[in-house]
Amino acid sequence: MKKIFAAVILLMSVFSFTARADEGMWILPLIEKLNIGQMTEMGLRLSAEDIYSLNKASIKDAIVSIPGCTGEIVSSQGLMLTNHHCGYDAIQSHSTVDHDYLTDGFWAMTKEHELPCSGMYANFLLKIEDVTSKVMENVKPGMSESERSSAINDARRTIEKQASNGNNYRTSVTSFFGGNYYYLLVYERYTDVRLVGAPPSSIGKFGDDTDNWEWPRHTGDFSVFRVYSGPDGRPASYSSGNIPLKPKYWLPVSLKDLNKGDFTMVFGYPGRTQRYYTSYEVNELLAITNPNRIKIRGIKQEIWMADMKADHKIDIQYAASYSYSSNYWKYSIGQNMQLEKNNVLEKKESIETRFSSWIKADPDRQARYGEALNLIRSSIQGRAPYLNAQQYLSECMQGFELLGFNPYGSLLLSVLRSGDKQHIAETVRRTKENLGEIYKNYSAATDRKSTKAMLRLYRADVPEKFQPDFFSKIVDRKFGGDIDKFVDDMFDRSIFTNESKLTAFLNKPSAKILENDPVALVAESFNKVIDYVSTEVSRFDEDLTKGRRLWIAALMEMDPGKTFYPDANSTMRMSYGTIQDYDPRDAVTYKYYTTTDGVLAKYKPGDYEFDLPQRFIELANKKQFGRYASSKGYMPVCFLTTNDITGGNSGSPVLNSKGELIGLAFDGNWEAMSGDVAYEPLLQRTIAVDIRYVLWIMDIYSGAGHLVDEMTIRE
């Protein structure tokens, strides 16, 4: 055990730079040791301490994690930029048919008009600290995997508690390199975050599903928020008395031209990569995970989209849910296609063949790492039928929204059974108060169609042993196996189908009615299967965790001259690269930038994805770009870099060699959709919206130049 960790620590200290400079998502405290020399050679004009410092304000103090994405502070008054799709939930939550900010956009012309966003937050990273030795202190040779895990988790909790003692910081001891390395991360969370501005979706989501994950892009994918603090500068819940945050650091903004070969950095919170996956895990993606997601979401989304196009209210209600679903639906299509096209499975098998020869050459290696691949293989193959069922349960139930009301019913039922009249009255009162929010984004008519499709699909595709018993007990016995009739009956009889029904029930609540509500019966039936499948999947967790830990440790020892970096795990990372074109196929080159000429060329009047506001068309045609145009006369829209990113990096700042903001990362490219599993150096690109386009939309198109005035602009 000690040999493994000594090897890891040594490697972290003496990595060479044989890997491509643009591959890797790097841990900030290690930049001085691992990256600064190469970055300086590539053009960086900052020091490592300018990027990450505990002693002075640095770039890391301007980068925040927000739900599912990254944001950056760009003014002394807490102004924050992120992607439009990252702010989509907040924009949608404030939208109604009468005030449709998704369609029309929104701009607060004064701070008093900024809109509070429930559930939004901004986490500021205070420090990252290597605590591997402390975490591993009580891990002893010969421990079982569960004993090892218990010792590690006890140590993690102790370290987290000590780090949060006497403060309100959020602390997390997080695993890196498959559990071979641990860091303590300390954050400060601000929960008063307000919507300041967003372009209309015809700009912020221009191209929508058709263009998603593909180049060339012409999307103004940005939204604007402001972080607020209490009067004392500390985090505080929303209050009219709160003040704009006074940040430690904010990013200056560059209006300079971008050129091929320019140095770039991206900072953010990438979610998950699987660069150390084996062939068995890649095959699981190819055979189970991606095909299931593609099939199930495709059916559900077709139903949703038909109703969204037919009804403006439903379009608003389902906008965020559809966007969330379709993003990784198309990702799965692209990932499977590129995993096959880029021969990723064969590349992984080649590494495994070399590994097998390497461990056979040394009895000590065989003893330490010999079981790694077998543990992974047996776990992946053993859990396959259960994982398949688990995914069908998860995906299909997301298209059966009526089940989402069951927790309200369970709570009400528990309270009613207690007989506590005061508790009952209070629970009923709170539920009534929340009815508007509960039903705000729900269309029973749409859900009825989707539920029929999801239940038909589940019954047809999932083996009998994973079928919930309501199929045989209710659907078959009472409805002759007709799922559509069963669903119609359930929607007609349930008290949860609409607000008026639930209101009538709350005016005269009854435990008996809840116990016999069809939603409760179906939910109970599904929950039995969920519990069974989850238990079966978890039986393979220990072996899989151990196999992955040993596998990664072995890879690092097998290639001591290679630069290793940990997989993304939603912690702050930095990647660096350059602005570059790429060649997607024979005789085709994609240049590194797009312009408003391309936006106008894609314009389709009245189209759901490619319509444009008339004002945009007029300004672009007249080339009224102000100071934001390129010196060559065009208005840049998006650009490409070789930076290594993944989901969670959405909204991440793209910085130049001086640490100035030049764009917001929002996507990867179609030809490298396999990149989360295997980096593709010739093809992999980050797609970013040019900050000059952002400011042009903000200032000249929208008339919100007061926000630009807050920023530190460098021309």
The one catalytic residue in 221, 315, 690, 699 is: 221
Contacts for 614 with CB less than 8 Å, ≥ 6 apart:
none
Q: What is the DSSP string of 495-561?
A: TTSSHHHHHHHHHS--HHHHHT-HHHHHHHHHHHHHHHHHHHHHTTHHHHHHHHHHHHHHHHHH-TT
The β-bridge relationship of strands 115-116 and 122-130 is unpaired
φ and ψ at 534, to 5 degrees?
A: -60, -40
Tell me the two tokens of residue 280.
């068995």
* CA proximity to 278, closest of 192, 181, 419, 178: 178
Burial of 224 (0-12, 13-18, 19+ CB in 10 A): buried
Task: Please indicate whether residue 307 is annotated as part of the active site.
Answer: no
Query: Cα 74 to chain center, whole Å?
Result: 22
CB of 369 closer than 8 Å to CB of 553: yes
First CA to last CA across the chain, in angstroms?
Answer: 55
The one catalytic residue in 450, 650, 652, 674 is: 650
Give CA separation, 221 vs 135, 205, 652, in Å: 41, 6, 12
Residue 356 burial (CB count, 10 A): 12
Residue 567 is given by DSSP the state P
Q: How far apart are CA 591 and CA 693, in angstroms?
A: 18
Q: How far apart are CA 271 and CA 627, in angstroms?
A: 36
Tell me the two tokens of residue 179.
């559990």
Count how many Cα atoms sit within 13 Å of the Cα of residue 554 in the half-sphere of its side chain. 28
CB of 105 closer than 8 Å to CB of 199: yes
Task: Please indicate whether residue 240 is annotated as part of the active site.
Answer: no
Q: How far apart are CA 48 and CA 249, in angstroms?
A: 16
Q: How far apart are CA 206 and CA 186, in angstroms?
A: 37
Instruction: Kindly report the three-state secondary structure assignment for every residue of 639-694.
Output: EEECCCCCCCCCCCEEECCCCCEEEEEEEECHHHCCCCCCCCCCCCCEEEEEHHHH
DSSP alpha helix (H) spans, 105-174: 132-135, 145-164
Q: How far apart are CA 459 and CA 438, in angstroms?
A: 29
Q: How far apart are CA 493 and CA 519, in angstroms?
A: 9
Contacts for 232 with CB less than 8 Å, ≥ 6 apart:
none
Q: How far apart are CA 671 and CA 527, in angstroms?
A: 40
The one catalytic residue in 75, 85, 262, 702 is: 85
Task: Please indicate whether residue 218 is annotated as part of the active site.
Answer: no
φ and ψ at 117, to 5 degrees?
A: -120, 100
CB of 216 closer than 8 Å to CB of 638: yes
Q: How far apart are CA 367 and CA 369, in angstroms?
A: 6
Give CA separation, 502 vs 267, 403, 514, in Å: 47, 14, 11
Tell me the two tokens of residue 511.
């435990």
φ and ψ at 26, to 5 degrees?
A: -95, 145
Beta bridge partners of 79: 226
Active-site residue numbers?
85, 221, 650
